[in-house]
Amino acid sequence: MKIKSLINTLGPGLLYAGAAVGVSHLVQSTRAGASYGFELIWVVIAANIIKYPFFEFAPRYASATGKSLIDGYYNTGKWALIVFGVLTLSTMFALQAAVTVVTAALLGNIFGISLSPNSLTAIILFFTMFVLLSGKFSALDKMIKVIILTLTVSTLIAVVAAFEIKTVDAVHFDWGNAVDLAFLIALVGWMPGPIDISTWHSTWTVAKMESSGHKPSLKESLFDFNFGYIGTAFLAMGFVSLGAFVMYGSGKELSSTGVEFAGQLIDMYTSSLGNWSYWIIAIAALTTMFSTTVTVLDAYPRVMQPTSELLFPGLKPKKQKSFKPYTIWMLITILGTLALLIYFGKSMRFMVDLATTISFVAAPVLAILNYRAVTDPGFPIEARPKKWLLIYAWIGMIFLSLFSLFYLIWKFL
């Protein structure tokens, strides 16, 4: 692979990383390490392994067809696109609220901003909207590369500095405990991220092609994806390690409110590592959440625009590259998010667990839709997944379906 071609290709995989490395890492992975030490690190690894094929199908589809997975769903049948649209509408406001409220809490804590969490959340959302609308995809593409580099370096420094072998009498994960099981489901639901991100990834791949004028080969697209995917897995283990090294056995419990959580997180790290580490931890935490806020706010309008236009052709603008529908969907996302926060957002943990649990239950449905997209008779033969990957995907679909069924039975029966 030529270096120039590789540089032109890199981007969608990093955007995937920016979207995935957020609440699942900073909040859920840190909580896993803080509450149970390294007992759940195998769950983090397993979740990354099980979901791999369904994320991999996104750049595969986009590279082979020049279109996003949304077109793949539509080719499967209008019902598939309707299912995707309903699932997206049911999660988008809760997910955007969950990531943005944590970002707002960190920003307020780090810089001593006294505005209410909802006000600060609104400012972040509208500021991000302005950046995205003014620079479009190229601004997002450039911004995320700097953010991911900063995040990776600061997190690695923090993990190395926090390394400590502990012998403590602490809480262990209890498979018969409802609270522990609920946390496990929320952890898996967003590890490494909701499968929705696969659809976002495919739209970013198409946008990258259009903005750069370069159509990557399948090999190039998969390299870019694997680069981001493997990186997010290691960062997840890094945050579990930080929670285990610094908080496990301390007897302290992470707060369910955003502002207190942000303060606890940074204070616990600096009290254990030293005041010198404050800005390293602060930068790692803030860049983690800001990258997710930016990418999620871009992703929902980017997928809902074609979804609504395919389902309702009359909504499609006369100008082929009209930016108006994207803007409208972004405003809908922001206003819906703020409305949800005003009425249900008193507990950050409630918002996070709500969004992750919905994503968990929806995971097998989206996994099946992704599988059908790359095995459709119209999909290019030369780009179809090899037999081992299809078997791998079947194992994943069965596991996700059984796990979701178990959750529904456990929750309601």
Closest C-alpha to 25, from 115, 145, 154: 154
| Cα gap 258→104, rounded to integer Å | 8
Most confident among 98-112, 156-170, 244-258, 366-380 (mean pLDDT): 366-380
The structural domains of the chain, with segments of one domain joined by +, span 3-412
CA angle 211, 217, 223 (to 5 degrees): 95
Is it true that the peptide bond before 377 is cis, omega within 30 degrees of 0?
Answer: no
Quickly list DSSP for 1-45.
Answer: --HHHHHHH-SHHHHHHHHHSSIIIIIIIHHHHHHHTTTTHHHHH
Spatial separation of the C-alpha atoms in residues 309 and 141, rounded to whole Å: 25
CA angle 96, 98, 104 (to 5 degrees): 95
Cα-Cα-Cα-Cα dihedral of 212, 214, 216, 221, to 10°?
0
3 pLDDT exceeds 80? no
pLDDT tens-digit series, residues 141-160: 666 767 777 767 777 777 77
Contacts of 126 (CB under 8 A, 6+ apart): 334
Q: Has residue 382 got a pLDDT over 60?
A: yes
Predicted TM-score (pTM) of the model is 0.83
Q: Superfamily for 3-412?
A: Amino acid/polyamine transporter I (1.20.1740.10)
CB 233 within 8 A of CB 336: no
Q: 199-231 pLDDT, tens per residue? A: 988 998 888 888 777 787 888 888 888 988 998
Separation CA 368–CA 358 (nearest Å)? 16
Q: What is the 3-state secondary structure (H, E, C) of 80-123?
A: HHHHHHHHHHHHHHHHHHHHHHHHHHHHHHHHCCCCCHHHHHHH
DSSP 8-state code for residue 382: G
Q: For residue 389, is pLDDT > 60?
A: yes
Burial of 221 (0-12, 13-18, 19+ CB in 10 A): buried
The span from the CA of 19 to the CA of 206, in Å, is 17
